[in-house]
Amino acid sequence: MTDVAGKRVLITGGASGIGCMLAEQLAARGAAIVVWDIDSDGLDAITSKLRDQGHEAHSYQCDLSDRRAIAATAAAMRDADLHVDVLINNAGIVSGDFLLDLTDEHIERTFAVNTMALFWTTREFLPGMINNGAGHIVTIASAAGFAGTAKMVDYSASKFAAVGFDDALRVELKSMGTPVTTTVVCPFYIDTGMFHGVKTRFSWLLPILDADYAVTRIADAIQRNRHRLIMPRMVMSVFLMRLFPVAVQDAMMKFLGVTTSMEDFVGREPH
């Protein structure tokens, strides 16, 4: 069990969406919260809310696409004597367009935030966890890390990498005999605004996940030391689909409506 009560939890991308809700939920469970985000207004809002509720909360403005900014922010935390017990790599962005319509900058930023930031934050805080004899690294990936979807080539590829990052890191930490736990979270679309406009063909089978439900499941998975959380369960069928010929797999994904789920994507309004 990873009892978050009395532990310090760092959440990247914590000024809105799932990150912000996780901050509130874990604070309610007794955790001290540190939030990183590029959105300074959102940071002020969540930090003030948590402090008003009597929780310990800190925030740092940080561009998660910038390796140097991550290093500088981590150094600032160490200078403030703020160690990290649980690192939740939650920051993520989505372009939601066809590959040939994406700019070079769109693609590079998607990988910088969704993939490369995992490496930089983990390398900053893993040594301290090992020295302290405990720690937990959480990767918020996606069901798109198991199956590709039209208009998500960059996003899906970045999340495939995130799943691989967690998978290899878990094995590596075990082989090293370290006491650090890992959890990867792979949800279908969550109703937070980030994927506004997406649709599902069979809502009873592949529902757009309620944000409160998803956050509670994630918080529970962290506390129970679950190595992998996939939701809803139907997403696990992707593993079985890969045993079939590609044409059969593609037909099944089209039937389920996954292939066309991004047709009406709008996304979150920019800050």
Which residues form the catalytic set?
155
Full DSSP string of 28-44:
HTT-EEEEEES-HHHHH
Distance of CA 53 to the CA centre of its chain: 25
Report d(CA 46, CA 201) in Å as an integer: 35
187 vs 171: CA distance, rounded Å: 22
Distance of alpha carbon 252 from the chain centroid:
27
- In whole angstroms, give the CA distance from residue 113 to residue 100: 21
Label residue 268 exposed, middle or buried (CB < 10 Å: 0-12, 13-18, 19+): middle
Euclidean distance between the first and the last CA atom of the chain, given in angstroms as a whole number: 37
Amino acid at 108: E
Beta bridge partner(s), residue 61: 37
Map residue 181 onto helix, strand or coil. Answer: strand
Dist CA 55 CA 47 (whole Å): 9
CB-based contact 157:94 (threshold 8 Å):
no
